[in-house]
Amino acid sequence: MKFLTNKYSPAELLGLFLVSIFPQHTWTIYMVFRDMPWLVENYYLTQAIGVMGYALLFALGESLILFLILLIFALLLPRQWETAKRLSLVYIAAYILIFWAMASQFYALFNSQIPGFYSALLIGSSHPLWILYGTSLFLIGISLIPILLWLRNQNFQTKTVNLMERISILSWMYLLLDLAGIGTIILRNIF
Amino acid sequence: MKKGLNRRDFLKLTSLLPFAYYAPPSTPPADDHSLPNILVFVFDAFSGRNTPFAGYPRNTLPLTEKLAERATVYHNHFAGSNFTTPGTGTLLTGTYPWTHRAFKPGNSVIKDFQNKNLFGLLDNYHRISYTHNPLVSAIQEKFQDDIDLLKPRQELAFGLNKGILDLFPNDQEVALLSWLRNFNIQDSGTTYSLILRFLYQYLGQKQSEDFPRGIPYMENNINFYLEDAIDWTLSTLKEAPTPFLGYFHYYPPHDPYHTRADFIDSFKDVPVPKLKKSDKFARFFRDNRTKTTEELEILRRYYDEFIRYADYEFSRLYNGLEQNGLLENTWVIFTSDHGELFERAKTGHMIRLLYMPLVHIPLLVFAPGQQERRDIFTATSATDILPSILHLTGKPIPEWIEGQMLPQFSSTAADSNRSIFSLDGRGTKFGYPLEQYTGTIQKGNYKLNYYHNYEWIKGLNRHYELFNYVEDPEELDDLASTHPDIAADLLDELRRKVDQADAPYRA
């Protein structure tokens, strides 16, 4: 444990854990509520609540895995950097990952289509593969903007850490919901 | 020397009485060879229209057809509904869905049927059951006190999702449902999970040389091989005390249609009847995505090729039973719980339609020692299976059963003018009356399909269709306007039946 606490205080580790909890729980709760009409239509209300309980448990598990990945990343960063600099990089990397994971689902969720002009461009081009490579590079470039900001602007680092600390407060609420979910699961498995 | 017990000995012996409490419960019934064994093999979602017995141009059952040379083949056998929950409820209780009330996926039958079912009524038999299908498990949970060996379905399954069943044994269905909605991409293209879903999908894309279209999986994405279930059935029956009753509900040819490599492309060049276009009722039912003709043709071919897999394995099972000498005193029933649709721009069975492909199911009855094929064209119902089994086992047929003995067992002439029903009331909550339903009644040569109280078809001036299903089994020519009297009589009879059964729930 010493190698952990040498680099990060218990409070910072707890903060990292709470930050890991936030995106997965927000998404799960949003999706379960979106799913609720279907669940209630096809199952009993108690079963639908059970589904939510398990979903929260699985979200907690997934958050723990995300936390471990971020922790490993955080431990690999040089100790010479200030803690705020290290943590802000970890947070930014995590949220870029989360952004793309959400984007891939939003694409399906809102039934998005490839814009017509883009399809026409691909069809009309004699080098469609180059266009696809170019688009990929462009999207990667967009993802790197926060990293560039992080590199050049110390204020951005501090603001990122502050924002994440605020988010952590909401994560406590999610942890309470997790407890309720676990309680539901225990009851369902006993009775 | 004194004979018998004296008072002291008797008192000494009474001290042993408390140990009797710990004695094993009553021993299983002793082997009784005077009663026949009964085996019911159900292949899920197996449409009778896709078999050679209905003149289907693809021979989907080459091996079973050979076996049928020693069986009674029913050509007009109808399921109680169009999906597993009500269809199996009907099969096991001998009543229509409006009576057993298992309407929604995951429902079981009402409490009244806890002991009034195939297992409960054959209480002098050693009763064995296995199913791949979680919806059948949900029904059987209610009957489990009357089943001597109920094999947990996950024991013959494998794959990523099986762990959830083991982890939450007392709440399998809900735990698994949640797990799948977390990680398995839904029709909407979404999951509850953000990151791990990618890992799940990567690990889940297991291929197998034997199953190039993917390893078969049952509802809720749990992998299985039908071979394992057949092997288990054979080995269990070999050791089972007699007389035994076996109810085995296998998943194929239910979708996804992942057939074995041996049967891939078996029907690539065999044409099938031209696909029917979307009609005025089918197009309103959107619980099932509209498919293009190309999609339907491919899915139908995959389905037919998956039936070949079921055919092969059933034949292996039958031959195994014969080799073990079990068929000498065993009745074998081969049937399904409902059919499958590939027409009118729709596919599958989770749709509130009751066209022939969804309700016409196969029924073969193999009698011990039968050497000749017998064909029966009289219409029969899934409600007839239970009374026929009761007859075979010398049990009285209770009055509450809505079916009647299959014609081969009945001493009276088959009633060709009998009414047979199927019902889909999947929107109905447990304990509530039927507000919306699709119902059919078959009587004589006619079949009426009725759509009751659906919001989205309220604009149509007529909510039923009438077909002469004997002359027009494809249900293309709606006779409701040319034969209004027949349609009105059938509609009246169907609605009266539903209203009668519903009366206690309306109160």
Stated pTM of the model? 0.74
Q: What is the pLDDT of residue B239?
A: 94
Higher pLDDT, B450 or B181: B450
Tokens, residue B75: 């050509």
- Is the Cβ pair A47, B174 closer than 8 Å? yes
- Given a cut of 90, whether residue B207 has pLDDT beyond it is no
Chain B residues interacting with chain A (CB cutoff of 8 angstroms): 104-106, 168-171, 173-175, 177-179, 181-183, 188-196, 198, 427, 430
- Pick among A40, A73, A100, A189 to test the B interface (most B CBs inside 10 A): A189
ipTM computed for the complex: 0.86
% of chain B exceeding 90 in pLDDT = 65
Measured between beta carbons, the chain B residues lying within 8 angstroms of A23 are: 194
Q: What is the pLDDT of residue B27?
A: 39
Q: What is the pLDDT of residue B1?
A: 43
Among partner residues A41, A51, A66, which is closest to B178 by beta-carbon distance?
A51
Among partner residues B169, B175, B193, which is closest to A54 by beta-carbon distance?
B175
- Given a cut of 90, whether residue B221 has pLDDT beyond it is no
* pLDDT range class, residue B339, cuts 50, 70, 90: very high
* Domain residue extents for chain B: 1-30+158-223, 35-157+224-414
Which whole number is the average pLDDT over B391-412?
94
Distance in angstroms (rounded) separating the CA atoms of residues B334 and B322: 15
Q: What is the pLDDT of residue A82?
A: 86
- Given a cut of 90, whether residue B414 has pLDDT beyond it is no
Which whole number is the average pLDDT over A174-188?
95
* pLDDT range class, residue B20, cuts 50, 70, 90: very low
CB pairs under 8 A between A and B: 93
Which whole number is the average pLDDT over B192-199?
87
- Is the Cβ pair A43, B193 closer than 8 Å? no
Measured between beta carbons, the chain A residues lying within 8 angstroms of B177 are: 43, 47, 51
- Given a cut of 90, whether residue B278 has pLDDT beyond it is no
- Given a cut of 70, whether residue A26 has pLDDT beyond it is yes
Distance in angstroms (rounded) separating the CA atoms of residues B49 and B47: 5
pLDDT digits (tens, 9 = 90+) for B44-100: 999 999 999 999 999 999 999 999 999 999 999 999 999 999 999 999 999 999 999
Q: What is the pLDDT of residue B384?
A: 97
In whole angstroms, how far apart are CA A96 and each of A89, A99, B483?
11, 5, 67
- Is the Cβ pair A42, B175 closer than 8 Å? no
Q: Give DSSP secondary structure letters for B345-368.
A: TEEES-SS---HHHHB--EEEE-T
Distance in angstroms (rounded) separating the CA atoms of residues B187 and B183: 13
The 3-class secondary structure across B7-26, one letter per residue, is HHHHHHHHCCHHHHCCCCCC
Distance from CA of A129 to the nearest CA of B (A): 25
Give the pairing type, strands B244-250 and B126-131. Answer: parallel
* pLDDT range class, residue B288, cuts 50, 70, 90: low
Tokens, residue B453: 């109280």
Q: What is the pLDDT of residue B206?
A: 62
**HSE, side-chain direction, 13 A CA sphere, residue A157:** 16
- Is the Cβ pair A50, B174 closer than 8 Å? yes
In degrees and rounded to multiples of 5, residue B76 shows phi and psi of -130, 65
Distance in angstroms (rounded) separating the CA atoms of residues B72 and B446: 24
| Residues B35-157+224-414, CATH architecture | 3-Layer(aba) Sandwich (3.40)
- Pick among A58, A73, A97 to test the B interface (most B CBs inside 10 A): A58
Nearest to B165 by CA among B85, B220, B204: B220
Chain A residues interacting with chain B (CB cutoff of 8 angstroms): 23-24, 27-28, 31-32, 35, 41-44, 47, 50-55, 58-59, 62, 65-66, 97-98, 101-102, 105, 107-109, 185, 188-190
Measured between beta carbons, the chain A residues lying within 8 angstroms of B195 are: 24, 62, 65-66, 97-98, 101
pLDDT digits (tens, 9 = 90+) for B481-496: 999 999 999 999 999 9
* pLDDT range class, residue B280, cuts 50, 70, 90: confident
Measured between beta carbons, the chain B residues lying within 8 angstroms of A65 are: 195-196
* pLDDT range class, residue B430, cuts 50, 70, 90: confident
Which whole number is the average pLDDT over A131-141?
89
pLDDT digits (tens, 9 = 90+) for A61-118: 999 999 999 999 999 998 888 888 888 999 999 989 898 888 888 877 776 677 778 8
Which whole number is the average pLDDT over B403-425?
90
Q: What is the pLDDT of residue A35?
A: 87
Q: Which of A130-134, A154-158, B430-434, B469-473 has the lowest mean pLDDT?
A: A154-158
- Is the Cβ pair A108, B427 closer than 8 Å? no
Q: Which residues have C-beta within 8 Å of that of residue A33, sequence separation ≥ 6?
A: none
At residue B460's C-alpha, the angle toward residues B456 and B463, to 5°, is 90
* Domain residue extents for chain A: 2-190
Q: Are B336 and B79 in contact (CB under 8 A)?
A: yes
